[in-house]
Structure formats: C-alpha cells, structure tokens
Structure 1
Amino acid sequence: MKKHVLLAVALLTGLLMAGCGFHLRGSQALPPNIESVAVTAVKPHALLERALNERLDVYQINRVALSQLTGNNDTAIIQLMPETLERRLLSVFSTGQVAEYELIYGVTYQVTFPDHEPIRGYFEILRDYQDDPDQVLAKSRELDLVVGEMRNEAADRIIRQLARQASEL
C-alpha cells in the first residue's frame, strides 16, 4: 500500500514540475535554430574561454572554431571580453591585517546569433574569502581554487543565458 501511495505522489510531482516548465539546471540544450557555438576571446588563451569550451563539451553542445564558420551557418558566436577580479575588504584582525575579503569576479561577453544584432551581457559572481597571513602558500592555492570555481560557474551561467536568449529569438 505504501509503495502505491509513494509512486502516486512521485508521478504527481513529476507531472506538476513538467507542467510548469521546470527543467533540471544541468541539462542545457540549445533550441533547434542554433546548431553549434563558436567561442572566441579578446585575450588569447583566456582561462574563461577554456572553461566555457569544457562546459560546452559536458553539455554535449556542438562547438566549432571561428575559422571554420561559413556564411550561412546556424552558429552562435560568443565573444569573451577580459575577465575582472576585484577584492573588497570585509573585516580585519585586531592587529589591522585583513581577515576577510569579498571576491568579485566580473564577466563581460557578447553573443551574436545568425541574422541578429549582438547581445552584450555582464554579470558578477561573489565569494567570501578568509585570509590568513600565517599560511600564505595554502591560502594562495585556495584562492586559485576559488577563482577556478567562479570561472566554471561563469561558464555555466553563460551557457544558461545563451540557451534562454536563443529560445527568445
């Protein structure tokens, strides 16, 4: 009896979620009007470009090199501007040394869909970062990991916004 009730509740929940347009966040698919994506960066060998290309592969979105584009292609072009990383002071130790920062990772990009005007986008990703002057090497490595996670989150966000903008065309 319990199994039947549990199954009915699971089916009802699934139907309600599907009916309201809910999609899993990790299942990014481009609409049929976009076949592939080309990524380029103003700064050569940008780390965000590498992260974005890796995330496109994870989502199984076809990507092409900018040099391979032909005139009548259904390819969206993402152009990445230089990323920014700023630190804002949050707190200090009683000795006056910085105890905590807020990291602000800024991303500016431009998406060009076939036969449409370019769409420019900007967003920021924020993280708190605790500093310890006694463990400089460990904190330096931790900062690199945090910035890498922020970069991956930025790549995911660009793909989500790309899918949303493409579906609005």
Structure 2
Amino acid sequence: MIRSYAFLPLFLVSLALASCGFSLRGNQPLPPSVNYVAVTSAQAHAPLARALKQRLEVYDIQAGDLADTPNPDHTVLIRIMPEQLERRLLSVFSTGQVAEYELIYGVNYQVIFPDQEAVSAYFEVLRDYQDDPAQVLAKTRELNLVLQEMRQEAADRIIRRLASQSPVSDIE
C-alpha cells in the first residue's frame, strides 16, 4: 500500500509544473506559419552558417540557402555577419610567454520574419584557453575544437533567440 503512494509527490510536482506553463529552455516552437529558415552569410561557406544549418536540423526545422526557399512568404531569413574572434591575455609564464588567453567569439546577425522589419542582434561566447608553447600541434588541434564548440553554442543561442523573437501574434 505504501509503495503505491510513493509516486504521488512526484506526480503532484509534475502536475503543478505543467499547469503553470513551465517549459524547458530552448523548447519554444517557431510560429506555425514559419516552415523554412534560410541562412545566408557575408562570407561564402562561413563555419557559423554551416553550424547553424546543422543545429536547425537537430531541432527538426527545415533550413537551407535562400535560393532553395520553397515558399518565400513563410520563410525566416537569418543573415550571419562575419564572425569576430579576439584573444585577451589572462596570464603569462615567468619567462614572459603567454600562458592563458580568453577567447571572445563575437556573433552579429539579423533575423527577418515574413512581413516584418529586420531584427539585429549581437552576443559573445567566451572561453578560457591555456597555451603551451612546448605542444604547438596539440594546442592547435585543441583550439580548433574549442572554436567548433563555440560555433555550436552560438548556433544554439541563435535558435533560442529566433523562437523568442518570433511575432507574438503567430505563436498562439
């Protein structure tokens, strides 16, 4: 008998969260009128544009180039401006060589919803990177992996912001 009541608190908490409108971050749907996202970039084959297209597929959102748009009236356009990567010095070795950097990946983009004004946005993704002059090849590979991870995080942020910036009249 006690065993059957063990799930009651869990059920009540789940019911309370569902009834108050709680949803996980990044779980906001795009408006039903939007059925395609066209991604363009200032640079041909920009790594962030490729990462964004891949992440859109993960979220089950059709994405591609502007030329492949099936219906321009129901297409959201995302324009990716050239990416910016800066390194800020954090620490040095006793010999004067750089020991640690802060990588600052700046993303500037525009979102254009059908029949709406362009919405511009900018954000930064930050990472600490330790440099070791004795292991140049390994650190180059590690830097490339860190940059790839930063691009994926930037693509996820763009998708979350896309859902939150969508016109309110189309959501419900």
TM-score normalised by structure 2 residue count: 0.89
| Structure 1 residue 75 displacement after superposition | 1.0
State whether residues 29 and 59 of structure 1, in contact with CA within 8 Å, keep that contact through their aligned partners in structure 2: no
CA distance in 1, matches of 2:145, 2:4: 44
SS in 1 for 2:132: coil
State whether residues 37 and 75 of structure 1, in contact with CA within 8 Å, keep that contact through their aligned partners in structure 2: yes
Q: Let me know the Cα RMSD of the aligned residues.
A: 1.8
| Structure 1 residue 43 displacement after superposition | 0.4
Match of 1:88 in 2: 88
| Structure 1 residue 70 displacement after superposition | 6.6
CA distance in 1, matches of 2:55, 2:38: 13
Change (3 A) 1:31 1:14: farther
State whether residues 80 and 109 of structure 1, in contact with CA within 8 Å, keep that contact through their aligned partners in structure 2: yes
Change (3 A) 1:135 1:53: same
Question: Moved runs in structure 1, 4+ residues, more than 3 A?
Answer: 25-28, 68-72
Match of 2:22 in 1: 22
Change (3 A) 1:161 1:77: same
- 1:1-169 matched pairs, under 5 angstroms: 1-2=2-3, 4-5=5-6, 7-25=7-25, 27=27, 29-69=29-69, 73-168=73-168
TM-score normalised by structure 1 residue count: 0.91
CA distance in 2, matches of 1:25, 1:148: 22
Quick one: percent identity of the two aligned structures?
Answer: 59
Q: 5+ residue gaps in structure 1?
A: none
Equivalent position amino acid for 2:149 in 1: E
Q: How far does the alpha carbon of each residue in 1:13-50 deviate from its partner, in whole angstroms, 9 at most, with x for none?
A: 22233234332335453121322211111100000010
State whether residues 28 and 164 of structure 2, in contact with CA within 8 Å, keep that contact through their aligned partners in structure 1: no
CA distance in 2, matches of 1:95, 1:36: 54
SS in 2 for 1:23: coil
